[in-house]
Structure 1
Amino acid sequence: SLFAQNFSNGFEFYLPPYDSSAQRFMPEFPRQAIEDYVTIGPDGHFTSGGQPIRFWGMNMAYGACFPDKDKAPKIAARLRKMGVNLVRFTLMDSPWTDEEGTIFFGETTTQVLNFFNLDRLHFFVAELKKQGIYVDIVLHDTRTFKEGDGVLHADSIPQTAKAVNMFDRQMIALQKSYALQLLSPVNVYTGLSLAEDPVVAMIEITNENTLYGYWKSGWLRHFSEGGELTMRHVDTLDARWNAFLQTKYASQTELENTWNQSAGTGGQNDQVADGGFESGDPAANFSIELHDVAQATLTADADNPYEGQYCARVDVLNVTGTSWHIQFKQTGASLQVFKAYEISFAARCDGQRTIEVVASRDNAPYTWYGSSEVSLTEDWQEFSFTFIAPEDNDGQFRLGFQFLNQEGSYWFDNISLTDAGVTGLLPGESLADGNIARISYPERGDYSPHRVADNAEFYLSLQSDYFDTMYDYLKNDLGVKAGISGSNTLSGISDLYTVRNMDYMNEQEIWDYVQYPNGWSPDDWWVENRPMVADGWSTMQPLFGGMAMKGKPFVVSGYTHSFPNRYQVEMIPWLTAYGSLHSADGLAFYYYNDEPDAWTSDRVDGFYTLHRNTAIMALSPVYAQAYRQGLIAPAGQVYELEYSLPYLRALPLTDNSGRWGKFFPYDSRLAYMHDLRAGFDGTGLPDLDQLPPAPEDAFISDTEETTLDFEKGILKTIAPRFVSVCGALDENEVTAGPLTVKAANGFGAIGWLSLSDGPLSQSDESVLVVSSKVQNTGMVWDGVHTFHENWGSQPTQMFPLQLAIELQLDADYLQVYPLSETGAGGQPKIVTPTEPGVFVLSIDQSQEPTVWFGIEALTGTPAPETDKAEGIAIFPNPSIGSFLVSWPQASGMERLSLVSSGGRLLYTQEVKGYNSWKMSVPDLPEGVYFLKLRGREKVMVRKVVIQ
């Protein structure tokens, strides 16, 4: 769409990078002395000095963890003004930067710290502490071990040693050594070590790391088998696995009797109709599902079938960039929960391409059961993959093929869906000999449930041991006072089990993650560029769908929507609304900056950097106040799900989510309505019957404060002292309590915050923030998904929203102040009511270049103004195509007319009983016109300009 590309007539609004001034119409965040440790109260939430505390955070990455000392005090002060009271230090162990961006010194080892950078980190922490800002330290993120560390074949270990660092004992020792080096030295600027300083509120053992999740993605195999392990680590896991079995089972007989239950042959009960296409009519049983402008055809082909006389031919003629917009499918099969099925087929294409075969539910909620990508050539090949049905499915199964946005011709034959064969103990496997193989997660459907369950328990125990070992070292050996978390971006409740002994839980999500189709490249990248609020699925489901534990704090330690997604502004309203609903203890955005000295340029220079992104930062102080002060009510209903280890052992039978998914055994859309918490004190199955059903499109929180409507593309929150609206404002008239968006010209976010203790409708002073999207000057899009390396230059430009907003306030009139880049008030304009207590604000950011408006509610009679045109408000004016007219209800107007400058009547409409009317005038030439409102006793006239 046009909204997803560049815009013209943008306005500049450069937020000063070091501004810390207090202003009348901006929320205040006074410095709070940090003297007490952050602890956990009896209600399971963070406290400081006996008082509840919530954290509004920003991540600092790479070199931004070590800013120049002349800048650090000013950066810290500005963060406080933006509402920030937590800074998370991440990626400072990264190898992907120069010496100014890493905590390590030298290129041959990671056992020597860069003491220059450590000193700058200490200074920055001290300056943050002066501003009342706490810190969160990530101990292991992207550290890449070196040969100089004594790690054998270190350069062959991929994924920055994620997962491997959880079971390689040498790497665990190196992690402990690093923690000692980082946390134990005394910070000369505070007189305390990071281990004992109360400014350190949180410490994370490792970031985005899960051994169990890597198993779920099939990566715990050797490179030659499609995995991510060196042979040394394959052997280590194999030895630990066999030792685990030798402890668990007393004899070979006991093992055989357990694992060989349910073993049997497969290949029976094919449920695909005409999978060989011998009817000559593939459309009789298969179909092509198309969305948007996608085009594809399905025909029978008698030329070179794999078997028999016919095969099916699919010609993909036009793709959209979204893979599921074209699907070759058959539906109607039935599945039994926990049963393994095998999909087999033969295929070729007119080149070399990869396609994906997908098993899923064919109706809402379209549950994904499993998938497999296969590489096709011009020659016929046979393929198969096995999946386990996570639910009963009575005739609503979909077997589908997706073409991954590749046009061309594809041929299919011998498609089948049969019962899968199941193996227990393989021939020659011996407990005594220690030669029993670990199984790969994608192959689990080929093995008996007990064998799969033992594999699951093995990885869960290894991962649990890692976290417990590191926790014990940090607390008992190093004397760390801060709360400790295990990891984040976990793959579901099984992963959550492994961090159950930590002090608090943390999670992360990114919407519209930047994709590199051919490996990392500054030029070859793309984003989907779609709004989450209209998607039907959101990151709130994996964040808040059940990864919080009962009785423990929960923190979102990293969250963002990638730039240049044109709908990025929605990220803060989303997280504020649902973080509040779920009583989250901290919300941190990813990330503020990633350079040590790039703090002042007026240019967005990265996919994830926020400090120069006015569209996002403008929202921060208003939404931070709403969150930190608890203005949005927590959920009224908290559902606690108690899980047991036997239940978790069996979850691979139903968990098809992979490494980067989140598996919950229920509809995670419940998170839009209620709080969901996990526990691990269960003895059997979790009580899923207590959970209510989730609706399809519109979700209302049980507090009735937050409403999400995917169909309309609107998210709104209505609290007594705070209102938020974001989404497709140009496609809907949106009422959110005392605020109504009557008209708009684009997607955006609006927040309205009372600056007094009373509700908005009675607030003497309040602030309104209006934001949409930002671009660099000269940023050149190629379509709607990428601009390659054409990032543009300074200055940034904001999209000028044009809005008609109706506010309900107990006042005789308003004074509305456009605020400057520091939040200082400008010359106010007087707004009089259209009826008692109802005011219409006409905002045109191309004419009033600001994102903030201070609102003062007053009683009495305002001084007369000469430009109010007798009470008529027209928005926008000048107008293109349409405009909204409003007038005082008490004026008694009955007819609306539009007259040319020469006096010719162009339009007339009876408006008796109304106080506003939207006029559509798409065909009028540019010029000046007169709008007349006529009542029984008076006529009001105002000029309107058509462009």
Structure 2
Amino acid sequence: MKRSVCIFICHVFIGISVVFSQETSENLLTNSSFENQTKGWNMWGGEIINEGRFGNYSLKVHLDSPRWSGADQTILISEGAATADISGWMKTENVVRGKESWEMARISVEFLDENGAMTGGYPPVTGQAEGTTKWTRYQQSYNIPSGAKKVKVQAVLGNCTGTAYFDDIQISLKGRSGEALQKENLSGPTDEGEWYELMPATSKAGHYADWSSLLDAPAGKHGFIKVQNGKLAFSDGTAARFWGVNLVAGSCFPEREVADSLAMRLSKMGCNLVRLHHMDAPWSVPNIFGNVGNSKQLSKESLNKLDYLIYVLKKKGIYIFLDLLVHRDFTEEDGVVNKLPDLGGKQVAYFDPKVIELQKEYIRQLLSHKNAYTKVLYSEEPAIIASEFINESSVFVHFGGDILTPHYRKELQGQFLSKGNQGKLSVFELDYSTNISPVLKEKEKGNTVASMRFLSSVEKDYYNEMYRLMRSMGVKYLLAGSNFPTPILAYSKDNQGMDLIITNDYWDHPQLWKINNNWNRILYAPVNNTSLLKNPDKGSIAAITKYKWYNKPTIVTEFNACYPNEFTLDALPYISAYGSLQGIDGIIQFDFDATPVGKDRITPFTLSKMPDHLSQWVVAAPIFLRNDVKTAQGIVIDAVNEKMIYELPSYSDFIDKNYHLPYITRVAKSDSAVKGNDPSEYTGFYDKTNKIFTSETKELVLNYQKGILKINSSRVQGVVGKLSEEAFDLPMIKVKMKNKWASVMLVSKDTLPLSVSENFYLIVTTPCKMKGQKFNETRTALEDAGNVPVLAQVADGEVIFKGLKNLKITPLGPDGEKMKQLPLTLSGEDSSLDLKKAKTFVFEIKVKRN
């Protein structure tokens, strides 16, 4: 899982006129003078101190090295607002400006659209200062740009050093006649409708449905995994595709009873792959080393638990993705004298000889170990399909920029010169200002092209060294480099040389960098709170296709749509359907543990605690594993070349400019003469006027203006998204819902088409929340995270089964337990189900056909 640092870059503002105003009106900011500490503010730097221009407190931001640091707050723009007046007090001490003219202490503003993207460009700063200044009031009035729905004010040190203090920051809004406007609040899906307490599962081995038939037990029966014509297959020629979960840290070392129930539960869910992640983390209890203070020896007790877990998963037909270096702490006890800048060897593990040797030592120990239960060496285990060498890492940069300490920067510079290069090795960072994908840029100027090529060679040499080692040990399964989810072309090309491509993607990952990276307060971290279905340009499938290479298999090693986003129930139909359309070889959701659903609160990432995600697995698993949504036959090539790869920004904007294509046909990169379909061939699949994509298979229709995805294949039919404004007519069912955000899916329980099958699952998923949960005014963070019980929204609507009268519909609980059969209303040849009559998400349907 990534721990990102967001960087804000300010450019010259274009397109908004500015008028200075002396008028004042009601301040719409919460806690504008910081008297209530951090309430209302996103803190991504700084602290509240007991000294203020007004009152007792103010915000202090101090930096010894340049970066963006400070606090921000966003409010809704009231209906009819024409201008925004921004003011605030600031004083500075020894602020040294950065490289750009705007990089100093600042009070600044941004206007955002309904999805949180900037609109109208960067406005002029409200106030800025460098050096040492007294308390000064800054004020600016702005015309609100077209399309703006929110305004965000920031109090920051902008990529500079020194100290700044902020106090009494205010926003007021005025209408076209200059009248003062009041603050508005948003409502969302979790504010609406009736709610019921979700019935907690009672078993650690249960699930709503039983999809163990999708698994082909035992794992490894078809031989080792391989790449065949750019796709995954087993050595006997059987095609392979994987739908799985991540087990994280201590969950990789369960007691036997827990391992048995976990294997049973996952098999029922239709999970055929488990990624073993963070086994080496020092904060994991236990970890692979036994938490003994060094990481040179593997714990016999931990290995025994791991052995048993792999054994029981293998019996159920569940394969293993075995991570290697994730979050290991390389210590002095391991022989590492100079402390690494981050856990897991980020950047350093690619080039430091000692750290590389320790990685090899770990690989030798782990893969030469014989499983006490399967009696097979890990290196010879056909149930293991892949390993990655290093998790979420690149030598070029890390999420927050270059993190190398002076010692390791000097070491890398020495290696650069020893290869015959001249001058300074460039220092790179990521530019997040595009609002779509971060791109590489130079932080400290050097021999740029030589630096790019050198760092690429460092990555390739590291990958090849690990590859040779593992192959020399007899490892037959697939090997991957890293899954750093930043589309740097040079990094991506380096990984393309391995057996498969891996990447990660999170929709609406909590913005921990805005709460000073305090993981203990993750429930209160800001989110965008927008839907995948209304943001195709930034959506997960568009992001993932940026990493795909022609004729190379791809596995998404981490995916999730994170709580408390209110629209997460759309994520699994979306990713399974479009993942299948793209021909992706595996998708692994992050993360899973042994907690029965409903027993504990919902958390941002843990699938086993997310009722909406778990219910959607009932439709998503067969969509992906059975290929119920067909893979597109066409393919469009995102052509890249050496110049694009090795010159900044080392990025292809092809998908940014053609974001409709991944929703219509396959897309992949190539730096060779491969020719795909011309993008113009797919013009007819994109209705620009109504903002609708239709897949070339005709099975998927996405209306991203409304936020509605329709699936219509032979074995799956349904609709997800904003369902309250119209009825939806599909071949087998008609759906009418009053819930504003919901999902209704019908899936064949066997391999037969719905038109002839006599066994279905109906999945009706509605939003979930915690009791007492409350959002802030802009619905971008929780004010109160609430607590158990978990609440689910009552499904208010009906499903009409067309031409089917002899139906038995039985609600299923979270353990798969059967409830009282539901009555139907007959009308001619059709049957109608009133969804309010059952308080669950999943229904088993038996059809008696004439």
TM over 0.5: yes
Letter in 2 for 1:74: S
Q: Is 1:123 equivalent to 2:124 in the alignment?
A: no
1:182 and 1:779, CA in 2 relative to 1: closer, same or farther beyond 3 A?
farther
Letter in 2 for 1:465: D
Q: How does 1:503-522 map onto structure 2 within 5 Å? A: 503-516=499-512, 517-521=514-518, 522=520
1:690 and 1:149, CA in 2 relative to 1: closer, same or farther beyond 3 A?
farther
Q: What is the distance in 1 between the residues matched to 2:681 and 2:462?
A: 33
Question: 1:57 offset after TM fit, Å?
Answer: 0.1
Q: What is the distance in 2 between the residues matched to 1:496 and 1:88?
A: 22
Question: 1:160 offset after TM fit, Å?
Answer: 4.0
Helix, strand or coil for the counterpart of 1:70?
helix
Q: What is the distance in 1 between the residues matched to 2:819 and 2:303?
A: 43
State the partner residue of 2:665: 674
Question: 1:714 offset after TM fit, Å?
Answer: 0.7
Q: Is 1:104 equivalent to 2:297 in the alignment?
A: no
Question: 1:642 offset after TM fit, Å?
Answer: 5.0
8 Å CA contact retained: 2:272, 2:317:
yes
1:620 and 1:166, CA in 2 relative to 1: closer, same or farther beyond 3 A?
same
Return 5+ residue gaps in structure 2 as ranges: 1-185
Question: 1:583 offset after TM fit, Å?
Answer: 1.0
1:176 and 1:731, CA in 2 relative to 1: closer, same or farther beyond 3 A?
farther
Aligned residues between the structures: 648
- Which residue among 807, 821, 827 is the counterpart of 1:814? 807
Question: 1:6 offset after TM fit, Å?
Answer: 5.8
Helix, strand or coil for the counterpart of 2:467?
helix
- Which residue among 457, 460, 463 is the counterpart of 2:459? 463
State the partner residue of 1:277: none
Q: What is the distance in 2 between the residues matched to 1:104 and 1:146?
A: 13
1:159 and 1:537, CA in 2 relative to 1: closer, same or farther beyond 3 A?
farther
Helix, strand or coil for the counterpart of 1:606?
coil
Q: Is 1:219 equivalent to 2:374 in the alignment?
A: no
Question: 1:528 offset after TM fit, Å?
Answer: 2.3
8 Å CA contact retained: 2:775, 2:784:
no
8 Å CA contact retained: 1:775, 1:797:
yes
Q: How does 1:454-603 map onto structure 2 within 5 Å? A: 454-476=450-472, 478-492=473-487, 493-516=489-512, 517-521=514-518, 522-523=520-521, 525-593=525-593, 598=595, 602-603=599-600
- Which residue among 629, 634, 638 is the counterpart of 1:632? 629
- Which residue among 763, 766, 772 is the counterpart of 2:760? 766
Helix, strand or coil for the counterpart of 1:760?
coil
Letter in 2 for 1:239: G
1:23-66 Cα distance to aligned partner (Å, 9 max, x none): 7x867345612333332253322223421121110100111111
State the partner residue of 2:359: 175
Q: How does 1:63-462 map onto structure 2 within 5 Å? A: 63-97=250-284, 99-100=285-286, 102-106=287-291, 108-154=293-339, 157-158=341-342, 160-214=344-398, 219-220=401-402, 228-246=403-421, 441-442=442-443, 451-462=447-458
Helix, strand or coil for the counterpart of 1:488?
coil
- Which residue among 841, 860, 884 is the counterpart of 2:833? 841
Q: What is the distance in 2 between the residues matched to 1:107 and 1:721?
A: 52
1:722-753 Cα distance to aligned partner (Å, 9 max, x none): 12321111234334443332232231222211
8 Å CA contact retained: 1:525, 1:788:
no
8 Å CA contact retained: 2:233, 2:239:
yes
Q: Is 1:700 equivalent to 2:691 in the alignment?
A: no
Q: TM-score, normalised by structure 2?
A: 0.70
1:62-104 Cα distance to aligned partner (Å, 9 max, x none): 111111112111110111001011111111212234x32x222
1:866-924 Cα distance to aligned partner (Å, 9 max, x none): xxxxxxxxxxxxxxxxxxxxxxxxxxxxxxxxxxxxxxxxxxxxxxxxxxxxxxxxxxx
Helix, strand or coil for the counterpart of 1:762?
coil
1:503-535 Cα distance to aligned partner (Å, 9 max, x none): 111111011111232313333522222222123
State the partner residue of 2:72: none
8 Å CA contact retained: 2:719, 2:745:
yes
Q: What is the distance in 1 between the residues matched to 2:613 and 2:437?
A: 34
Helix, strand or coil for the counterpart of 2:357?
helix
Letter in 2 for 1:677: A
Letter in 2 for 1:613: M
Helix, strand or coil for the counterpart of 2:499?
coil
8 Å CA contact retained: 1:726, 1:749:
yes
Helix, strand or coil for the counterpart of 1:63?
helix
Letter in 1 for 2:371: N
Between stretches 79-88 and 49-58, larger displacement belongs to 49-58
1:641 and 1:854, CA in 2 relative to 1: closer, same or farther beyond 3 A?
same
Q: How does 1:677-688 map onto structure 2 within 5 Å? A: 677-682=668-673
- Which residue among 33, 39, 44 is the counterpart of 2:230? 44
Helix, strand or coil for the counterpart of 1:729?
coil
Helix, strand or coil for the counterpart of 2:213?
coil
1:368-400 Cα distance to aligned partner (Å, 9 max, x none): 898xxxxxxxxxxxxxxxx9xxxxxxxxxxxxx
State the partner residue of 1:866: none
Q: What is the distance in 2 between the residues matched to 1:367 and 1:797?
A: 34
Helix, strand or coil for the counterpart of 1:103?
coil
8 Å CA contact retained: 2:202, 2:596:
no
Q: What is the distance in 1 between the residues matched to 2:436 and 2:306?
A: 46
8 Å CA contact retained: 1:505, 1:553:
yes
State the partner residue of 1:281: none
Letter in 2 for 1:73: D
1:520 and 1:789, CA in 2 relative to 1: closer, same or farther beyond 3 A?
farther
Between stretches 724-733 and 536-545, larger displacement belongs to 536-545
Between stretches 723-732 and 199-208, larger displacement belongs to 723-732
Q: What is the distance in 2 between the residues matched to 1:82 and 1:357?
A: 40
Q: What is the distance in 1 between the residues matched to 2:293 and 2:343?
A: 18
1:216-254 Cα distance to aligned partner (Å, 9 max, x none): x7834xxxxxxx2211211122122223344xx9xx9xx
Q: What is the distance in 2 between the residues matched to 1:47 and 1:573?
A: 25
1:776 and 1:510, CA in 2 relative to 1: closer, same or farther beyond 3 A?
same
Return 5+ residue gaps in structure 1 as ranges: 221-227, 260-355, 361-365, 371-386, 388-439, 861-947
- Which residue among 599, 602, 616 is the counterpart of 2:613? 616
Question: 1:357 offset after TM fit, Å?
Answer: 12
1:589 and 1:466, CA in 2 relative to 1: closer, same or farther beyond 3 A?
same
Question: 1:820 offset after TM fit, Å?
Answer: 3.4
State the partner residue of 1:275: none
State the partner residue of 1:13: 199
Q: What is the distance in 2 between the residues matched to 1:529 and 1:359?
A: 20
Helix, strand or coil for the counterpart of 1:153?
coil
Query: Which structure is larger by alpha-carbon Rg, 1 or 2?
Result: 1
Q: Is 1:805 equivalent to 2:790 in the alignment?
A: no
Question: 1:776 offset after TM fit, Å?
Answer: 3.2
Helix, strand or coil for the counterpart of 2:493?
helix
Q: What is the distance in 1 between the residues matched to 2:207 and 2:782?
A: 37
Letter in 1 for 2:569: V
Helix, strand or coil for the counterpart of 1:32?
coil
Helix, strand or coil for the counterpart of 1:152?
coil
8 Å CA contact retained: 1:541, 1:669:
no
1:557 and 1:724, CA in 2 relative to 1: closer, same or farther beyond 3 A?
farther
Q: What is the distance in 2 between the residues matched to 1:757 and 1:508?
A: 31
Q: What is the distance in 2 between the residues matched to 1:358 and 1:564?
A: 23
Q: TM-score, normalised by structure 1?
A: 0.63
Helix, strand or coil for the counterpart of 1:205?
strand
- Which residue among 233, 244, 254 is the counterpart of 1:57? 244
Q: What is the distance in 1 between the residues matched to 2:431 and 2:271?
A: 46
Question: 1:618 offset after TM fit, Å?
Answer: 1.5
Q: What is the distance in 1 between the residues matched to 2:217 and 2:627?
A: 18
Identity %: 23
Q: What is the distance in 1 between the residues matched to 2:484 and 2:677?
A: 25
Q: What is the distance in 2 between the residues matched to 1:230 and 1:680?
A: 35
